[in-house]
Structures are given as C-alpha cells and as structure tokens.
Amino acid sequence: MNRKFLSTALTALVLGVFSAHATSPAMATPAPAGTNGSPSDALTALFGDPVIAKGKGFEIKQSALDQIMVGAKGQAAASGQQLPPDFEVRALHQLITIQMLLQIATDADRAAGQKDADLQFTNLLKHFGTIEAFNRQLKAVGMTMEDLRAKAAQEAIAKQALKTALNVSVSDAEISSFYTGHPSDFEQPEKVHVRHLLLTTVDQATQAPLPADQVAAKRKQIDDLLRRARAGEDFATLARQYSEDPGSKDNGGEYTFPRGQMVAEFETAAFALTNNQISDVVTTKFGYHIIKLLDRTPAKTLELTSVVDGVPVSESIKNYLLQQKIAKLEPDYLAKLKKTSDVEIVDAKLKADSDADEAAAAAAAAADATAPAVPDQK
C-alpha cells in the first residue's frame, strides 16, 4: 500500500531520522557539537532562545524552529535534495497551527492523540530494531527520544482537535468504495528479510574514500568474516561485533525491505539469495557487505481486514479520507482561529518572510480565479 495514510513518519523531524536509517545501509553523519551534541543547542548557545511567535496561551521559541530545520535538512541531505526557500516560514506556521489547536483540544482529543502518537512511535522503533540504534540516529539529527515523543504527541493531539472542531466523518460505504476503486494502492510488494554486515571503505564523517592500504585491509577482513559465517558462526553475533553500519549492527544486522529501497548492488544480491544462503562479498559505494537471507514475503494484495504497522487497512483508509475532507475545510477554519488566537510573529525577518509568502499565495489564488478556462480538446 503506497499512500500517505500508511506512512510511519510522525513529523518532519522524524522524516529526517527515518530517512537516514532506511534509505540505504549507509553511515550516519554525526551532528555538529553543541551543548549536548545537538545542532539546535549549538545555535541556542550562540544566539540565545528568543520568542519568535506568540498567541493566546502560547509562545514559540527559536529553538523549536531550529530543531525542525535540523531534522528537515538531515532528510534533504539523505535524499540528495535541498529545502525550498520558503520552508522555514512554512515550518513556523506549522508550529503556530499546532499550538493554536492545542489550546482548543479537549481531554478526549488529548487521549486519542496520545494513543495515536504512542502507536506510531512504537512502529517507528520497530524499524530501528533497538533503542540504542534509534537513539544514535536521533542524535545524528540533533534530537533526544524525549523531544521526539513530546513533539509527536503534540502533533497528534492537534490533528485530533482539528478533526473534532470540523466535525467530519467517513462512512463504511466510503471506505469500501475507496478500497474497490484503488486496487493498486493495496498491492504489497515482495520483501526480503536479511542480516547484513558492512565494513566501510569511506570515512564515516566525510564520506571520502579511505586510503588504499586501509581498503585492502578491509577486504582481507571481510573475506575472513565471510569464511567464518559460512563455517557456521552466528551471523548476528558477527554483525554486532564487526559491522560498521550503525543503523543495523545493534540488532544483528537486520533489514526488511522491498525493491527500490537499497542501493542497486545490495538489492540485487539480497533478492538473488535463497533462505539461509550467505552472499559473496558485495561491493557498494559504502564498502564491503555480506548478506544472509532469513526469509522473504511474497507480493500480495492487502484485504480490508489486513493489519499494517498495527493498524487495519480499513482504519488507514478512514484516516486518509478524513484527512481529505479536513484539507478542504482546514484553510478557512485555521484563518478564523488565527484571528481569534491573536497570533503575532515577533521575529522581524520571519514576519517579513511570512508576509511575502502570504502575498504570493494570494496573488496565485487571484490568478487562478481569473484565468480563462482551457478549451475542451475533444
């Protein structure tokens, strides 16, 4: 199932963490040092932590925006992309929206939101295998687990409060209609479950190639590890002891993935294996790999009653359709809420950027409204 309603990402912050872990068996890039190793803490230490926006019942400080920017930049770097120029001001508006909605959240909204955040957090943790691996990846984007849990809960509660305020609902008939009308969205691709051991041939901090003598030593070591694995030594133990992939070594080198997620050489070798078979040494831009196939899951079509990451498909469809309905009503509602919440952007630069962004959006909307209809080409 490939729609956004089955995403495991909690926030833009989580996307940065998850992208660094899941896109390939690559090395994590250490965060610049701050007061506790966090880039956002480093910025706070240098420039202080002023209030940049406020409204009835809330203030937003610079550190909250800095933390989002660190996570988003990590995500962009992991995918070889750059953030759009207006990303910072849009992130600020998202923070403002969350805080406005938290002010109107009921006890029921808070309970439902917390439950949803806990479930998604649990699912995210499963992808990392161990608390240690998760914490290491969080540190790489300047976060702690407590930060992540708190922000994920706030976002989930805010979403629940918005749904309550807009009073939208989805019927069983709508769920069934969507399911039958979008069969390709419920096709689950073949996946392989492997253990993996990596010896890097690049510098973990700079990603520059290691000197030739070090690469030769790594090749000799990986050949020896391959011999030991094929002689019957426990692969998980070897991975924990020798692997240089921080995303998987703590859980014995485990990965589960479909085609199109890992680098080509790694993917080709993994899908060519049979159960319990150990690959030859596989060379990628990251270094030398050994892969052991544990099992594979054939491609299948999900039923409405199927459960993915702890959530029934029918419930995921319901949430998706709810979000579609909310998206239509949300702009007008939030504009009114912003006025009654006395929202003010205090930071001069962000205020100017916000005004420019709103002016551009208004101009685009006006242009769309006055554009001539495209003639029917039939």
Alpha helices in the chain (DSSP H): 12-22, 39-47, 62-78, 87-104, 107-128, 131-140, 145-166, 172-181, 212-230, 235-242, 264-272, 313-340, 348-370
Q: Which residues contact 189 (CB under 8 A, 6 or more apart)?
A: 258, 259, 299
**pTM for the model:** 0.63
- Which neighbouring-strand residues pair with 198? 289
Q: Are 235 and 260 in contact (CB under 8 A)?
A: no
pLDDT in tens, the chain (378 residues): 333 333 323 444 444 444 444 444 433 333 333 444 555 555 556 667 999 999 999 999 999 999 888 878 877 776 678 888 889 999 999 999 999 999 999 999 999 999 989 988 888 787 776 788 788 777 766 678 888 888 889 999 999 999 999 999 999 999 999 999 999 999 999 999 999 999 999 988 788 999 999 999 999 999 999 999 999 999 999 999 999 998 788 889 999 999 998 999 999 999 999 999 999 999 999 999 999 999 999 999 999 999 987 889 999 999 999 999 999 999 999 999 999 999 999 999 999 999 998 888 778 777 776 766 555 444
Contact (CB, 8 A) for 1 and 103: no
Q: Does residue 313 contact residue 303 with C-beta atoms inside 8 Å?
A: yes
Domains of the chain (ranges; CATH) run 9-177+312-363 (1.10.4030.10), 188-298 (3.10.50.40)
